[in-house]
Amino acid sequence: MGACRLGRSDLILFILVAMAALLARPASAADPSPRVARVGFVGPLSAAAISSYNGAFWKRLPELGWVPGQNLVIESRSADGHLERLPALIADVIDRKVDVLVTYGLPAAIAAKKATSTVPIVVAIMPDPVRSGLVASLGRPGGNLTGLSSGDPALSGKMLELLQEAVPRLSAIAVIANPNNPMTRDLAQDLEALAPTRGLKLQVIELRGPEGLDRAFERARRMAGAVVVAGEPITIEHRRRVTGLAAKHRLPAIYLDREYVSAGGLMAYGPDISAMWRRAAEYVDRILRGAKPEDLPIEQPTRFVLSVNLKTAKALNITIPESILVRADEVVR
């Protein structure tokens, strides 16, 4: 056959049809995202403190087709451990016309919910949002807020159980908690209710700011044989100081996440934080592609991580029993 030649009008028509076909092709998770999106990211911790937790979030977004600098603009703000700054920071980000607001922790979730009833909110980590009044139910949250809950009814009891296994003949425990943070306040109340059922006396020690850390651990040493440190901006921002004070006062301590163990803490037990952040990115993706927060159930953790620091145990003259070691996901030797 001879070569087929297109006239100029035919060539123009061919180009237009090809362009229309490309534009009509449906986007998928593997395709470049169809538009430039704006995501607000506001949290109670400093950027340095949260970076050891949320790496999975920033890794997952490009995997889903959202690449900062290409089709994604990030409006990021940090309260640097000062919860009172959250409302102003959130208001500033909302004024930037973001498509989704991402945050973490109960104080930030509450501040975000108060700030807007229209901008979709994804909370990466929060305790029971029904108990705190953020949503109507986990299955159908309603409104503009969804995300992931770190709450588990068995968590408080598990922490007490681990301390009792690690410290034989333990009779009294202190919990260091910020009364101004609803999340740590709820944890302290749960521990107070459970302690007597396990034959333990429990003393709640209030921590309202980093300047009170030394005094809190001094009180804990006088009142208890071990301590539960509630995870919240004060203790997370100053976790090396926290674990150092526990060592100084020779207090066996349990925390809610492995970062404290990496910083020298004895034990930690809590949900898999990286998995929750990864899932939060997937929630953001679904909303940017048209899903409504009210239709996205709030998920609860399916995996919990137990970390143990044998170096710290040795320094405290504690022998971690095999019953704990065989269950540990991470052991620092």
Asked whether 125 and 273 are in contact (CB, 8 A), the reply is yes
pLDDT tens-digit series, residues 252-281: 999 999 999 999 999 999 999 999 999 999
Separation between Cα atoms, residue 324 and residue 160, nearest integer Å:
13
Total tally of structural domains belonging to the chain: 2
What is the per-residue pLDDT for 153?
A: 72
22 occurs within a structural domain: no
What is the per-residue pLDDT for 35?
A: 82
Question: Do 166 and 182 sit in the same domain of this protein?
Answer: yes
What is the per-residue pLDDT for 245?
A: 98
Asked whether 245 and 220 are in contact (CB, 8 A), the reply is no
Separation between Cα atoms, residue 291 and residue 113, nearest integer Å:
19
78 occurs within a structural domain: yes
Residues in CB range of 320: below 8 A, 6 or more apart = 166, 308, 310, 313
187 occurs within a structural domain: yes
Q: Which two tokens stand for residue 93?
A: 């980000």
Q: Which two tokens stand for residue 84?
A: 């009172």
What is the domain range of residue 123? 37-150+273-295
What is the per-residue pLDDT for 154?
A: 86
Q: Which two tokens stand for residue 229?
A: 């440190």
28 occurs within a structural domain: no
Separation between Cα atoms, residue 66 and residue 61, nearest integer Å:
5
pLDDT tens-digit series, residues 183-208: 888 889 999 999 999 999 999 999 99
What is the per-residue pLDDT for 21?
A: 39
129 phi and psi angles, rounded to 5 deg: -75, -20
Asked whether 324 and 306 are in contact (CB, 8 A), the reply is yes
Q: For the chain, which ranges sit under pLDDT 50?
A: 1-33
Question: Do 41 and 146 sit in the same domain of this protein?
Answer: yes
Question: Do 96 and 245 sit in the same domain of this protein?
Answer: no
What is the per-residue pLDDT for 152?
A: 79
Q: Which two tokens stand for residue 248?
A: 């100084």
97 occurs within a structural domain: yes
Q: What's the CATH code of the domain at 159?
A: 3.40.50.2300
What is the per-residue pLDDT for 12?
A: 42
What is residue 129's three-state secondary structure?
A: coil
7 occurs within a structural domain: no
Predicted TM-score (pTM) of the model is 0.85
Asked whether 298 and 165 are in contact (CB, 8 A), the reply is no
21 occurs within a structural domain: no
228 occurs within a structural domain: yes
Question: Do 180 and 247 sit in the same domain of this protein?
Answer: yes
